[in-house]
Structure 1
Amino acid sequence: MRWSRTFTVVGCHAEGEVGNVITGGVMDVPGKTMFEKKEYLQEHMDDIRGLVLFEPRGAPYVNANIILPPCDSSADLGYVILESTEYPPMSGSNTICVATVALETGMVSMKEPETLLRMEAPAGMIEVRCLCENGKVKQVEFTNVPAFAVHLDTPVEVEGLGTITVDTSYGGMTFAHVNARALGFSITPDEAHQMSLMGQRIKKAVNEQLEVVHPENAKIRDVSNVIFEGPIERIDGRVESVNGTVCLHGRLDRSPTGTGTTGRLAVMSAKGQIAKGELFRNKSIIGTHFDSRVIANARVGERDAVVVTIAGQAWITSIGQHGLDPIDPYPRGHRLSDVWF
């Protein structure tokens, strides 16, 4: 074998969204916090992201995570999330994948029927409860970082659409929320392409016209994703809805989006649409779901916030190695605008 670089990669998805986990090939990176480690990777080692996410090894729907030693000695592990256009502070589906891979591959000891983990993300410490049976992680429930609404029912001018109403939020990532029906969508798989195109236009308009900045970390700013939201219904004693989240460079999240569900609960709470402790089942465009609830109130800077739990499941799909031949012409991968918007 003549590879100049080698990474061990465990393939994984959470409710349909790919969140592969790099378990070997990166020992550690400098940084006193996981956020600083994220910044170091972004500024000095971004070739790893290109290698594992872009073609010919990756695809637009592929995310990855690097497991690193935690900065906080109380944590079981640290991790940095790699997505196609950024390193987000937090991701729910990726967190579920990392917890599942860490336990099912034996990186962290599994205790049945329940394993508790402390996982250090760039956004902060994530408390995780895993339900385990016969060596399988049957459910991952995590307590996300505090979430808050930024704008509520705010008009934005969008090219080709005119004036639309949006909410914005932070739930570990930043979101704009729009009414899917008002924009002509039922949130079905056949609509994904048109939703992606429209979502990019909405994202551009929101970031030009509204300011979205985390009050305690000014480096977390601007809307990353746009959530097309279905109507809120009450079914069998729980609140339900469906959503389609247009991610980053313009494709649909296959999962219900953990940080998006968190941000949506922050908006729903601010509007009085859900009570603390009430179960919210958020469904994805492919029919998978996360179960979630507001468990506490909080403050982030001067903003009212909520603390949210999210529960879902992940499945390991493969274990293998990604490598780089020293004369490979695409050491950072490549992208074409036919599928990479």
Structure 2
Amino acid sequence: MRSRLSINVVGCHAEGEIGDVIVGGVLSPTGGTMMDKMITMERDHDHIRQLLICEPRGSVARHVNLIVPAVNPECVAGAIIMEPTEYVPMSGSNTICIATVLLETGMVPMNEPVTRFKLDMPGGVIEVTAECEGGKCRSITFRNAPAFAAVLDGALEVEGYGTIPLDIAYGGMFFGIVDAKGLGFEVKPDEARDLAILGEKIRKAAREQFDVVHPEFPNVCGVSIVQFAMPFEGSGKVTRNTCIVAPGRSDRSPTGTGTSARMAVLQARGQMNVGDTLIHSSIIGSRFIGKILDVNHFGERTTIVPQITGRAWITGQHTYLVDSDDPWQTGYMLSDTWGVTPTLKQ
């Protein structure tokens, strides 16, 4: 068989969420910053995302990350995150997968017991600390870009539910955060479909009713993900949540950017402060540990510096080929798994 391309991918998941990493076969997009490169990738090379995430080669449950040379000379590598329906400035589970793959494949030298390096991401420079033993990453801790609360107790109109309170916070993308218990959920696996359906309803309503824009990245706007959060149990205690990734499924991990966003809201409400931790448990029981490292004030806006700790595991190595006679060279999407919002930015 002759293939018009060959893409090498290392399979990986972080606490259950798939974040595969492209290590060969795709060149870096152009751009003076990593955000510029992300924009170029979305505009000019989206066929790569479609090929690897859409069926028959991928699935709605997959993210794919492209390793590229860093723009910032302090960083060992850069990365562009491709999710099922959008490109995002930052993702916690994907960052943990990227760091694990870089170290366990030898792309970045591993020093035991601790390896430290920086990653150049569209949302900013991310500082990584890897706990290593026996040639394996036991855990990844990263210092995230600043997170902040944008809306507290917003009144959101949702068809069939009336008015519900909504918090909106940025943790790497904008999250709409709602009270899971108040909506009748316990965030359990058997609620996954109902959570996904309602989560997409809330996301679309929030995008229509709340105009939120990142102060530094005007292309980062609108609610991307809805987080169903159980009541905060206090610093150092386990709190369940699930984040509904468009076009409608629960993130299998506790979501690192979602944990960052939740901590920003809790700090804004006076429930968390510097040094406090939020142990987030996902719908499948996996955990991330979030910590507030610092709080900064810029005029009327307050930001936190979040730290996230989690684990990832490599699942395999794959080479993806495209036969010139294949009628689905860029893949396809069906509403039985992709819902009704399969395209970008809806």
TM interval, short-chain normalised? over 0.9
1:20-99 equivalences under 5 Å are 20-99=20-99
Displacement of 1:323 in angstroms is 1.1
Q: Does 1:337 align with 2:335?
A: yes
Contact 1:131 1:139 in 2 (8 A): yes
SS in 2 for 1:219: coil
AA paired with 1:223?
Answer: V
| CA–CA distance in structure 2, aligned partners of residues 123 and 248 of structure 1 | 20
| CA–CA distance in structure 1, aligned partners of residues 232 and 41 of structure 2 | 40
Identity %: 47
Structure 1 consecutive aligned stretches of length 4 or more whose deviation exceeds 2 Å: 298-302
Moved more, 41-50 or 21-30: 21-30
Contact 1:76 1:119 in 2 (8 A): yes
1:244 matched residue in structure 2: 242
5+ residue gaps, structure 1, are none
Q: Does 1:319 align with 2:301?
A: no
TM score, norm. by length of structure 2: 0.96
1:99-248 equivalences under 5 Å are 99-234=99-234, 238-248=236-246
Deviations 1:68-90 (A, max 9, x none): 00111111000000101000010
Displacement of 1:275 in angstroms is 2.2
Displacement of 1:156 in angstroms is 0.9
2:289 matched residue in structure 1: 291
SS in 1 for 2:211: coil
AA paired with 1:325?
Answer: D
| CA–CA distance in structure 2, aligned partners of residues 212 and 147 of structure 1 | 14
AA paired with 1:262?
Answer: S
Displacement of 1:27 in angstroms is 2.7
Displacement of 1:299 in angstroms is 4.3
Contact 1:6 1:324 in 2 (8 A): yes
| CA–CA distance in structure 1, aligned partners of residues 133 and 208 of structure 2 | 49
AA paired with 2:159?
Answer: E
Contact 1:146 1:300 in 2 (8 A): no
| CA–CA distance in structure 2, aligned partners of residues 311 and 201 of structure 1 | 31
5+ residue gaps, structure 2, are 340-346
| CA–CA distance in structure 1, aligned partners of residues 298 and 196 of structure 2 | 31
| CA–CA distance in structure 2, aligned partners of residues 145 and 305 of structure 1 | 10
Displacement of 1:28 in angstroms is 1.8
SS in 1 for 2:270: coil
AA paired with 1:143?
Answer: R
| CA–CA distance in structure 1, aligned partners of residues 274 and 226 of structure 2 | 25
SS in 1 for 2:273: coil
2:274 matched residue in structure 1: 276
SS in 2 for 1:233: coil
1:308 matched residue in structure 2: 306
Number of equivalences: 339
AA paired with 1:213?
Answer: V
SS in 2 for 1:131: strand
Contact 1:215 1:302 in 2 (8 A): no
Contact 1:215 1:301 in 2 (8 A): no
| CA–CA distance in structure 2, aligned partners of residues 208 and 47 of structure 1 | 28
Displacement of 1:302 in angstroms is 4.7
AA paired with 1:33?
Answer: T
AA paired with 1:211?
Answer: D
TM score, norm. by length of structure 1: 0.98
Displacement of 1:168 in angstroms is 0.3
Contact 1:216 1:300 in 2 (8 A): no
SS in 2 for 1:64: strand
AA paired with 2:337?
Answer: V
AA paired with 1:246?
Answer: I
Match of 2:258 among 260, 285, 300: 260
Displacement of 1:294 in angstroms is 0.4
AA paired with 1:327?
Answer: D
- Quickly say closer, same or farther: Cα 1:260–1:213, change in 2 above 3 A: same
| CA–CA distance in structure 2, aligned partners of residues 300 and 197 of structure 1 | 37
Displacement of 1:211 in angstroms is 1.4
AA paired with 2:285?
Answer: G
| CA–CA distance in structure 2, aligned partners of residues 190 and 326 of structure 1 | 42
SS in 2 for 1:338: helix
2:344 matched residue in structure 1: none
